[in-house]
Amino acid sequence: MTNDLLDGAVLGDDGLARPVWAATDPLLRDYYDTERGMPVTDERGVFERVSLEAFQAGLSWATILRKRPAFRAAFDDFDPDVVAGYDERDVERLLGDAGIVRNRQKIVATIGNARATIALREEMGLSALIWSFKPEATPTPTDFSQVPTSSPESVALSKELRRRGFSFVGPTTMYALMEAIGIVDTHLMSSHRRGTSGVWPA
């Protein structure tokens, strides 16, 4: 049984507070407890998360997380070098894959983003570019109403990625990415996950 807390979180049977979205579904709970907000700095890992956040636009994260194994299989584990070489036959293959989100624009964007990722290697690389937009401070929400959905940094990151040839990288999508890979910590101050990334203090 769970009980609502004053800050909008839910107290689980294990005595730990989690957001409502991560309180009951075992898959979402495990993602929240072990993965969300932990630093991701390798190119493949960052590219995967950029791609999944793009596919998530207009959908729930639960949908994407449940389909993540199928996405990884369909997109060759999000290896940018492989995805960048996809052609129209691959687009058609992906559109026929019921295990993923079959959206032509998002599929084509992922292929284009892989090519843009490779182009970035001549400079700082995708991961370093995205992490360069880490803010000087992170939010300290005590209630879910205080958790932002975008920031000046996510707006600037979106603009820079678009300039570099990326698509489906809007400010809200990029803020979700920044939350997911540890660039900001938006866990509630009462959450057992607050400060666990090592990037920001609790």
Q: CB neighbours of 46 closer than 8 A, spacing ≥ 6?
A: 40, 126, 127, 130, 181
Note whether 158 and 174 are within 8 A (CB).
Answer: yes
Q: Which residues pair with 18 in a beta bridge?
A: 10
Pairing mode, strands 3-4 and 17-18: unpaired
The question of whether 35 is a catalytic residue gets the answer: no
Could you tell me the two tokens for 147? 């958790």
Options 43, 53, 153, 179, the catalytic residue? 53
The question of whether 31 is a catalytic residue gets the answer: yes
Note whether 108 and 73 are within 8 A (CB).
Answer: no
Options 31, 131, 175, 200, the catalytic residue? 31
The question of whether 122 is a catalytic residue gets the answer: no
Query: For residues 119, 123, 127 and 132, what is the CA-based torsion angle, rounded to 10 degrees?
Result: -130
Which residues form the catalytic set? 31, 53, 61
